[in-house]
């Protein structure tokens, strides 16, 4: 018995030391490193196990695959040889953002694109189904949530029909965002010849390290490498208005995209597919010679806990610091860190009008409580906060100086910045910026505009509760 006890203590010290050493070497945030070092040391066995599941939040891709990816990127460059020329109406402040984003991502600003907003599921889903039905060679779809509902079933049916018609169909769903019942429903894809993969499933042991935080939050649909859809919509009926539904749909916006930027959208999907299935997607079937159907200047901005860590975060900071006239931010989940808060305050001090649109009633009460705790400081600094009335708004967008837009899957919170795999597009276009400004104003309607002091005038108990929740906001 004594020898077993000594062996147990030795093993505890060993695994705790391994966890502490890993946290000390790999954690970029000193506070997070200190927290995990304490947990791993003070809680026998369960502490290191918790660190393994919750604390290690990086995906390392194989060096051989990264070498092939870099080579493919270099081969794509001649195809995208048109030089991006900014029209005169694009202000210098927005041109400066391009320099920041190019340096951060290492991806070029592509020209000759066309992007069309699709507000709401009633516009987006029919357009996506039409594109799936017209596919000739390949369909690649990635979604965080695939609902076991009318929209999910209809999408699966359309994908099966395409696969039976000879189209190569690949569908990637997230292992937590999509529940097991919906994954079971989607397995009928395999019967039609399509391929289904689950990104980082929790039940991957012993072959895969478990992690709740490594989530693929991207929304991508790529048809023949020539037509793409991306934005904030998941494949679920919650975004769709029908006569049978009693509750109004969640409001969101998606985008249809054509042009050279599809090459980079396809590359992002291929990286995620390789991580899930080990298959490398290459060749003209997936990366066809691009057309130039429009005049929009667009850059792909993938972000996630891999080689693209914090890219989105750095671009947003760069955009806030470059703004000279106005900034519009709409997000369903708002949990900024001190750097983002200071950037918003600095923008206001520099004379920039900052408008922050948040849902009046969120779908995650604790997240909304944490979000509320940040508003007093921002209101005092001069940020204009508008609460968008129900139904819930899931839209994620940012507009700077009426000429630069950031649209896609990412929220303005730590999970999107550092934990989730996200995909966004930055678009240098006054036309799209004006459309998004109008979209935000329309959704807000007669929404409440918060005044300085309003948050502080609420009952002490509510403010105290929100302050406590705020402590845990990086983990929500």
Which residue shows structure tokens 């300085």? 452
User: Which residues does residue 405 pair with via DSSP β-bridges, in sequence order?
Assistant: 399, 427
| Contact (CB, 8 A) for 164 and 138 | no
Which 8-state DSSP code applies to residue 144? S
Q: Let me know how long the chain is.
A: 476
Which residue shows structure tokens 């076991």? 148
d(CA 166, CA 374): 52
266: its two tokens: 């396809």
d(CA 271, CA 125): 25
d(CA 232, CA 31): 31
260: its two tokens: 């050279």
| Contact (CB, 8 A) for 304 and 421 | yes
Question: Strand 384-388 vs strand 353-359: parallel, antiparallel, or unpaired?
Answer: parallel
Helix (H) or strand (E) holding 101: helix 92-105
| Alpha helices by DSSP H, 135-210 | 150-164, 180-186, 188-191
Phi-psi region of 364 (alpha: psi -120 to 50; beta: other; left: phi over 0): beta
Residues with catalytic function: 217, 219, 224, 394, 396, 401
d(CA 401, CA 85): 18
């Amino acid at each position: 018995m004594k020898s077993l006890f000594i062996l147990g203590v030795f093993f505890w010290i060993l695994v705790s030391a391994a966890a502490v050493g890993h946290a000390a070497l790999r954690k970029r945030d000193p506070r997070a490193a200190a927290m995990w070092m304490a947990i791993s040391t003070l809680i026998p066995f369960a502490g290191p196990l918790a660190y393994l599941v919750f604390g290690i939040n990086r995906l390392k891709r194989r060096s051989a695959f990264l070498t092939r990816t870099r080579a493919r990127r270099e081969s794509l460059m001649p195809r995208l040889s048109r030089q991006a020329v900014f029209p005169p109406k694009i202000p210098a402040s927005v041109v400066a953002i391009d320099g920041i984003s190019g340096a951060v991502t290492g991806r070029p600003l592509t020209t000759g694109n066309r992007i069309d907003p699709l507000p709401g599921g009633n516009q987006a889903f029919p357009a996506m189904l039409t594109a799936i039905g017209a596919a000739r060679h390949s369909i690649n779809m990635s979604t965080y949530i695939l609902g076991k509902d009318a929209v999910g079933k209809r999408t699966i049916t359309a994908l099966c029909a395409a696969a039976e018609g000879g189209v190569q169909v690949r569908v990637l769903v997230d292992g937590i965002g999509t529940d097991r019942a919906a994954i079971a429903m989607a397995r009928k894809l395999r019967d039609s010849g399509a391929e289904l993969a689950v990104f980082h499933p929790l039940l991957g042991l012993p072959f895969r390290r478990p992690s709740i935080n490594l989530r693929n939050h991207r929304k991508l649909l790529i048809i023949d490498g020539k037509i793409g859809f991306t934005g904030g919509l998941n494949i679920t009926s919650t975004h769709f208005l029908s006569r049978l539904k009693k509750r109004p749909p969640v409001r969101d916006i998606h985008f249809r995209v054509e042009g050279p930027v599809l090459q980079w959208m396809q590359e992002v999907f291929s990286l995620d597919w390789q991580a899930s299935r080990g298959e490398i997607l290459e060749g003209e079937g997936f990366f066809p010679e691009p057309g130039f159907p429009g005049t929009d200047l667009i850059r792909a901005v993938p972000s996630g806990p891999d080689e693209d860590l914090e890219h989105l975060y750095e671009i947003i900071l760069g955009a806030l610091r470059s703004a000279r006239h106005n900034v519009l931010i709409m997000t369903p989940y708002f949990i900024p860190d001190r750097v983002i808060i200071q950037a918003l305050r600095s923008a206001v001090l520099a004379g920039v009008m900052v408008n922050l649109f948040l849902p009046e009633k969120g779908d995650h009460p604790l997240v909304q409580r944490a979000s509320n705790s940040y508003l007093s400081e921002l209101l005092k600094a001069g940020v204009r906060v508008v609460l968008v009335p129900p139904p819930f708004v899931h839209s994620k967008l940012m507009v700077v100086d009426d000429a630069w837009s950031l649209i896609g899957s990412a929220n303005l919170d730590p999970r999107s910045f550092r934990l989730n795999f996200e995909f966004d597009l930055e678009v240098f276009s006054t036309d799209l910026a004006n459309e998004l400004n109008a979209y935000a104003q329309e959704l807000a309607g007669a929404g409440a505009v918060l005044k300085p002091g309003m948050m502080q005038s609420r009952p002490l108990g509510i403010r105290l509760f929100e302050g406590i929740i705020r402590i845990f906001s990086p983990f929500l």
